[in-house]
Amino acid sequence: MEQKTITLVQESFEKVKPIAPAAAEIFYGKLFELDPELKPLFPSDEGAMKQQGNKLMSMLAAAVAGLSNLDALIPILQDLGKRHVEYKVEAFHYETVGSALLGTLEAGLGDEFTSDVKAAWTSVYGTMADVMIKAAY
């Protein structure tokens, strides 16, 4: 992975961190809009969904930080992929999650979601999802 890609993702995510709770809400709203059949895989309780949003943002923060040390990040992503099978996540869901993530970043970053930033996130998410899918299926 190119350093420029890593830098763009890490710098743009720093701008999302201050709005993490709102970003998580946007993400799940977009996810369920793109595929309403995913909703039953998540808690129906509002408080539990807030916790789920916190977990999402914490996981993203750790993964983004870990881009600087891929050798350490890959086993973590592999484990995460395997755990998602237990949550009834299918391989094709990763595409929907990627679309929801990009939509969330676009909403959260506004004009700062440039074509370069979008390309960087697309590359990074694709790589991470690929590692998770290969480990899980």
The structural domains of the chain, with segments of one domain joined by +, span 3-136
> What tokens appear for 102 in the block?
């990009």
Tell me the average pLDDT across 8-18: 98
Q: What does the pLDDT look like over 98-122, one tens digit per residue?
A: 999 999 999 999 999 999 999 999 9
Read off the pTM: 0.95
Tell me the average pLDDT across 41-59: 94
Give dist(CA 129, CA 98) in Å, integer.
8
The pLDDT assigned to 52 comes to 96
Question: Mean of the per-residue pLDDT values for the chain?
Answer: 96
Burial class, 45, CB count within 10 angstroms (exposed 0-12 / middle 13-18 / buried 19+): exposed
> What tokens appear for 56 in the block?
């999402």
The CATH class for the domain spanning 3-136 reads: mainly alpha
